[in-house]
Structure 1
């Protein structure tokens, strides 16, 4: 399926519809009786607990995971750490197959970050999996993990609580939230996951960037997790290269999401005061739409049209905030593959497990050069890397086309099989 065809049908159709009523949840186990309002309530001024601590949970029926896989599932609210080192609150989903794990050791968990869903509060992956809104496309990917017997710990990412906006493409936020939901998954009352279970990391597109950030941060941020491997596809490794291609394109909505998400993380930087009336409306549009609605609103939009001075991307990057930090400095902090190395190196980010990276041959959204460069950086750093760019598909359909390879790659790592990298 071509992404453009999907865009023209979905963007102006079902994606802009009214969210469906939530399905009834299963009976709650003791201590897991939060309401939906509790899960998504505004974050407190002072966040209690430690990263990964479970704050609230409620059983959920995941109607948007096809295949009728018997499972127990919960929405969760948990503690994480933001890009500035402060504690924050994140939401997500934990799902555990009912079938007994029979392959030796403890049941493994796939830490999953979805691809772009949009920044409106209704877009949270945990809500969409439970059928409360339908504008996502990865339920069948999770089916493969669950059928293989793996638990799934799927983060919504930062910014889906009441009064927030999603911090789209902020690397540390994404990586921390992805690792912390694995910690959280082992605390759910009535759950069966144990601290010694192996962990696989997975994501595509926005989720691919989050997966690699999780891989890069795992050793320093969550050293107790036994991460066996990471799979990341469609990765926008360099946001400046990606933004240049997105600006004025059919997919400019992704750029709008990123600009607003970076501002949400760095409110101290110049932003709101730069906007003209169209820019002020654009901020509202990002905060109210999901994926296809955002793409439809920003179809062909150029960043130069949203500020009073007609600022280009390069001019925005040059703007300074407190201490002389520029927007360009902040964007560069999100670049993947920088400062990475093996466990025996002196690198900032040490990766001691194999990585699978991939993209579609007909990729039309993320520039090939940044996806290829991220892979090359991993190879140069000596990290076992498997690369595949021969899927005969464009951006969205590559996510589905590679799902079997991702499941098999992580399955082999869970079984302790050596990876055959192809650097």
Structure 2
């Protein structure tokens, strides 16, 4: 298991302090004739974005130096079109990797659309930059390696907001769900990928990525009916952002709360934020926008929202603050809640949910509540609890998730543990 030194650092820190529908046709052609874009061009916001989600706007062949195991593959950084929560076209970056070994299973080679967990808001933190770069802030390269070894193509979105001059829309459900579905749409359009538009698609994410993949599952039928999605695996799910915020505020992991405030406001810019902040709060936002996971946690640990606002607002008082469109922070956060109004979503494929027994970042009550809501709605739902904490569970589940997705690709029946 490849583990970052971050795990030890976070454990020590915690001990000291405690002692994220438009219906469109699939793109028929790529806007990229060949994958020869400069690296900087992949992250440059285009002047205009096509209204067709999943259009490849730029791509570049890369080596994924942070994927362990010396796996023979072809890989590309990609910039592709997606849709934000207001239905507007946006460009998003990501990575596509395809094993060199021929696919020997039935049908076309399957594609796993993958959303990473929290990486940080700094532009250097984008998953595509980490996979192909000199550092990796968490160890989800192991997840990618396991999928490639199983013969599956991996389409890993960075999530919206990692292009130059932008802010990642951290934990914004609709935006992240669209971005995940649209990189699966884009994958066959990448020149040289050899992938089929009829390929079976699996969704996977953990923590921030778990929320994103569940949002993708909920939105798939209405937003991307052209995709053949056969299953979704989601772990460590921050299903209710208010409940998560209550646990994070003033804790060892309060940096994630700062990221969430910045990310949600980036997705919903009518919400007030800067006008509420004191000098310390403005400096915290500047820090959050410039560092990755480890820097976020260490720089902002133990801070509370009241420390950052001119009026010393509590979370409940922040939720009452109203944006220029009339919606409050509380209403926008409630709109990100998973497992709500599931009757409006048509999840026709199985879902696997999982968490750590010792999760110290996401309250287990909200993770359990999402599972209960899916079961009550009649969604075929698998469930597993691992012995680890939040960080460990991501890695502990890899083998089980890859096996579970393999069963979905093979057309086997999924166990319903409701």
The two structures share one fold, judged by TM-score above 0.5: yes
The match for 1:121 is 123
Contact 1:3–1:395 (CA<8 Å) still a contact in 2?
Answer: no
SS at match of 2:58: strand
- CA drift of 1:252 comes to 0.4
- The number of residues matched between the two structures is 398
Distance 1:52 1:42 in 2: 16
- CA drift of 1:127 comes to 0.3
Distance 1:151 1:232 in 2: 18
The match for 2:8 is 5
SS at match of 1:280: helix
1:73 to 2:75 alignment: yes
Q: Tell me whether 129-138 or 104-113 shows the greater mean CA deviation.
A: 129-138
- CA drift of 1:330 comes to 0.2
Distance 1:176 1:398 in 2: 26
**1:396-415 correspondence to structure 2 within 5 Å:** 396-415=391-410
SS at match of 1:103: coil
| TM-score, normalised via structure 1 length | 0.92
SS at match of 2:205: strand
- Candidates 325, 347, 350, aligned match of 1:354: 350
Contact 1:123–1:133 (CA<8 Å) still a contact in 2?
Answer: no
SS at match of 2:148: helix
SS at match of 1:203: strand
Q: Tell me whether 262-271 or 241-250 shows the greater mean CA deviation.
A: 262-271
Contact 2:265–2:271 (CA<8 Å) still a contact in 1?
Answer: yes
The match for 2:180 is 178
- CA drift of 1:234 comes to 0.3
- Candidates 276, 279, 282, aligned match of 2:278: 276
- CA drift of 1:30 comes to 6.5
**1:347-386 correspondence to structure 2 within 5 Å:** 347-386=343-382
The match for 1:37 is 40
Alpha-carbon displacement from aligned partner over 1:265-289 (angstroms, at most 9, x marks no partner):
1222211111110011111101100
The match for 1:19 is none
| TM-score, normalised via structure 2 length | 0.93
Alpha-carbon displacement from aligned partner over 1:11-53 (angstroms, at most 9, x marks no partner):
9xxxxxxxxxxxxxxxxx9711000110001342x32341100
- Candidates 52, 61, 69, aligned match of 2:54: 52
Distance 2:215 2:129 in 1: 24
**1:14-413 correspondence to structure 2 within 5 Å:** 31-44=34-47, 46-340=48-342, 347-389=343-385, 391-413=386-408
Distance 2:157 2:191 in 1: 18
Contiguous gaps of at least 5 residues in structure 2: 15-31
- CA drift of 1:8 comes to 6.1
- CA drift of 1:104 comes to 1.2
The match for 2:22 is none
SS at match of 2:195: coil
The match for 1:16 is none
- CA drift of 1:325 comes to 1.1
Contact 2:160–2:168 (CA<8 Å) still a contact in 1?
Answer: yes
Alpha-carbon displacement from aligned partner over 1:266-321 (angstroms, at most 9, x marks no partner):
22221111111001111110110000000001111101010110111100101112
Alpha-carbon displacement from aligned partner over 1:304-361 (angstroms, at most 9, x marks no partner):
0101101111001011123421110000010000111xxxxxx221100000000011
Distance 1:280 1:379 in 2: 42
SS at match of 1:407: helix
Distance 2:261 2:323 in 1: 15
Contact 2:205–2:235 (CA<8 Å) still a contact in 1?
Answer: yes
Contact 1:364–1:394 (CA<8 Å) still a contact in 2?
Answer: yes
SS at match of 2:128: helix
Distance 1:332 1:10 in 2: 31
Distance 1:179 1:368 in 2: 27
SS at match of 2:177: helix
